[in-house]
Amino acid sequence: MGKNKWYFESENSNKQPGSTSTQPRSKRSASMPSTYVWESPENMPLPKLMQLMWQRLRRSWVALRFQTNKWSFGLFKPKSIIKVAVIAGAGIFVFGTDGESGLLSRVNSRAIAVSNETNLEIAEEYARPKKTKKAKPASKPSAKSGAMSNAKPRNDAAPVSSQQLFKQQSLDYIEKFHQIAVQEMKKYGIPASISLAQGLIESRAGTSSLAVSNNNHFGMKCFSRDCKRGHCSNFTDDTHKDFFKKFASAKDSWRAHSELLASGRYAKLKKYGRDYRSWARGLKSVGYATDPNYAGKLIGIIERYDLHQYDRY
């Protein structure tokens, strides 16, 4: 008998009854009787049946939540709902429910109020009488004084912004010419707000030298080479040789302005209807004025004085 066989038989003989067998796992499990007994729901005790039903209900609920989150991309998760609620609350706080009660509108209103107060202070400063100083005796011209004498004079024919106009003068001008603007709009299709805004900034609310002496409220130039005497006059604008038309009345100036915008390269702007923003940008794009901020000046003064209300007539 070999040593290996002797060791094996000795080991088997020393095993106690009930010890683990050295048979393969599959054979041992097949030979051993199963201790699990299947219990049908009819034979199952009530507490255990309720526990089983509760477990199945929980599994179904977990499966339903999984499918819901899967197809809704996690929108109904508690954290997602809290995030959406926070974002919505922040939006209401900033913008308000009606667009006027939010933080943004309140800040904007405050900025407008501060701007109006500043303009009022500037107007009062201009209205105060200034002290005149005694004239100094004339001295010999120097190089510095010669350079100052060549400085460009104030351009009275150039358009101005809404901040450069006094409020009362602007309101008086609007009251005086808004009916003419509506009449021209009905006849030629130019929005009344655009005509009023152009008249305000081109004529400085009717106070410019060009408006007072020539009745020219829109800075309309004369390009005729053989114009008659009194037909136009010279004002400094882009160059010192710019000539501007003279009109018998301000109403004639408004009519000439309407005829100009209803013809030529300006006629295509009628496609904008009464959209004053598109009209303002269109006038700048077709070269009505050389001022790079011309469209912004028109839109600013229209919205400051609510001139677009006359477009609904």
172-216: pLDDT as tens digits: 999 999 999 999 999 999 999 999 999 999 999 999 888 998 899
Is 302 in the same domain as 210? yes
Most confident of 14-23, 146-155, 157-166, 173-182: 173-182
CATH number for the domain spanning 271: value is: 1.10.530.10
Q: Which of left, alpha, beta for 72 (phi over 0: left; psi -120 to 50: alpha)? A: alpha
Residue 144 maps to a domain: no
Residue 41 maps to a domain: no
pLDDT above 80 for 136: no
Reported as a pLDDT band with limits 50, 70 and 90, residue 135 is low
Is 308 in the same domain as 167? yes
Domain of residue 85: give its range: 56-118
Lowest mean pLDDT of 149-153, 160-164, 196-200, 257-261, name the range: 149-153
266-291: pLDDT as tens digits: 999 999 999 999 999 999 999 988 88
Residues 42-56 as b/e (b if ≥16 CB within 10 A, e otherwise) read eeeeeeeeeeeeeee
Is 169 in the same domain as 282? yes
Helix count and strand count (H, E) for the chain: 12, 2
Three-state SS at 235: coil
Residue 206 maps to a domain: yes
| pLDDT at residue 143, as a whole number | 41
Q: Give the bridge partners for 232, in sequence order.
A: 245
Is 101 in the same domain as 168? no
Is 211 in the same domain as 89? no
How many CB atoms lie under 10 A from the CB of residue 197?
Answer: 29
How many domains is the chain partitioned into structurally?
Answer: 2
Q: Is the pTM of this model over 0.75?
A: no
Residue 151 maps to a domain: no
Using CA atoms, how far apart are residues 174 and 310, in angstroms rounded to an integer? Answer: 10
Using CA atoms, how far apart are residues 215 and 245, in angstroms rounded to an integer? Answer: 9
Residue 45 maps to a domain: no
Beta strands in 169-298 (DSSP E): 232-234, 243-245
Using CA atoms, how far apart are residues 125 and 223, in angstroms rounded to an integer? Answer: 40
Residue 286 maps to a domain: yes
Using CA atoms, how far apart are residues 272 and 51, in angstroms rounded to an integer? Answer: 74
Using CA atoms, how far apart are residues 313 and 80, in angstroms rounded to an integer? Answer: 50
Residue 268 maps to a domain: yes
Using CA atoms, how far apart are residues 40 and 52, in angstroms rounded to an integer? Answer: 12
